[in-house]
């Protein structure tokens, strides 16, 4: 084995604890990118959440089953929203003020789309709508109930997607960023 002492590569040799820490940091980073699932969120009625103009579309504590996974290209596969654990027939709330731009079925799934004043469009599915196109809704107002049929999660969930702009294909953003729950991944040292 060649020694790197005194060479320009001297700083590359790592002690075992340093290698372990970097490996752990990498695992946390990759794990966080691949599966931000099962995070628990504060109630959507939390005033801190409402101060952004947006809140979670479910009341009480909310569990994120699957996080936002932007596609590498706009047309590629990805997860263009978040899946939130829900109770069958539970209330679904408007995540922000806006106008209902669609309430009906798409590809067999009932959904509600709300166009917000800032131009973002929230889509919630599967939701049996209690609203119709053209209705004005306020943050936290009931827009429908969780449909026990038509979901794509292994358990009952609500998929919340947020589109921005009018590009084709549409651009999506992480809905959790609107409620202050998304952010950079923080690497923690090994215990």
Q: pLDDT tens digits, residue range 86-133?
A: 999 999 999 999 999 999 999 888 999 999 999 999 999 999 999 999
Omega within 30 of 0 (cis) for the link into 47: no
Calculate the alpha carbon distances from 145 to 13, 22, 88, 97, 107 in Å.
58, 46, 8, 18, 18
Given a contact cutoff of 8 angstroms between Cβ atoms, the answer to whether 69 and 100 are in contact is: no
Given a contact cutoff of 8 angstroms between Cβ atoms, the answer to whether 112 and 124 are in contact is: yes
pTM of the model: 0.68
Give residue 150's pLDDT: 65
Give residue 151's pLDDT: 67
Distance between CA atoms of 81 and 65, rounded to whole angstroms? 11
């Amino acid at each position: 084995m060649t020694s790197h002492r005194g060479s320009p590569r001297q700083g590359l040799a790592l002690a075992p604890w340093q290698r372990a820490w970097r490996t752990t940091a990498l695992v946390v980073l990759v794990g966080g990118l691949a599966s931000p699932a099962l995070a628990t969120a504060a109630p959507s009625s939390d005033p801190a959440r409402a101060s952004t103009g947006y809140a979670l579309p479910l009341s009480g504590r909310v569990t994120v089953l699957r996080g936002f996974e932007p596609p590498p290209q706009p047309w590629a596969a990805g997860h263009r929203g978040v899946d939130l654990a829900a109770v069958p027939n539970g209330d679904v709330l408007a995540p922000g003020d806006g106008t209902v731009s669609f309430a009906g079925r798409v590809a067999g799934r009932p959904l509600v789309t709300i166009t917000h004043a800032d131009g973002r469009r929230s889509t919630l599915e599967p939701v049996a709508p209690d609203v119709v196109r053209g209705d004005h809704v306020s943050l936290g107002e009931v827009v429908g109930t969780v449909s026990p049929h038509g979901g794509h999660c292994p358990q009952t969930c609500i998929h919340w997607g947020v589109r921005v702009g009018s590009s084709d294909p549409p651009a999506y953003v992480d809905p959790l960023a609107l409620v202050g729950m998304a952010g950079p991944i923080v690497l923690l040292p090994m215990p």
